[in-house]
Amino acid sequence: MSTEDDGVMTGEHLKQIVENQLSDGNPIKVKATLMRLMMTGTPRDEAIEAIACALSVEVLDVMQEQTAFNLVRYESHLDLLPDMSWMEE
């Protein structure tokens, strides 16, 4: 996972990770979320950004708390999209 020189992961990095998850088909919930959002009228680029926001919660936790990536929580946030009320947590 590449980061800027100051150790901060950018939105572009997160979107690239989402694109890689889509390409790899892992986790499968990412593709299902993209399809669901697009079927309800969200443009693909906005859907990718929303998924990247859900991913950012996990990446931030891994970096700050030095914990393992929480796939269950990531997938639960994907289920809530396009609502992002979890960002207020």
Domain boundaries, the chain: 11-84
According to the model, what pLDDT value does residue 44 have?
Answer: 97
According to the model, what pLDDT value does residue 3 have?
Answer: 45
| Residue 2 confidence class, pLDDT cut points 50, 70, 90 | very low
DSSP state, residue 87: G
Determine the straight-line distance between the first and last CA of the chain, rounded to whole angstroms.
25
Question: Contact 37/79 with Cβ under 8 angstroms?
Answer: no
Question: Contact 18/52 with Cβ under 8 angstroms?
Answer: yes
Instruction: State how far the Cα of 89 lies from the Cα of 86, in Å rounded to an integer.
Output: 5
Q: Indicate if the pLDDT at residue 89 is higher than 70.
A: no
The string of pLDDT tens digits covering residues 10-61 is 889 999 999 999 999 999 999 999 999 999 999 999 999 999 999 998 998 8
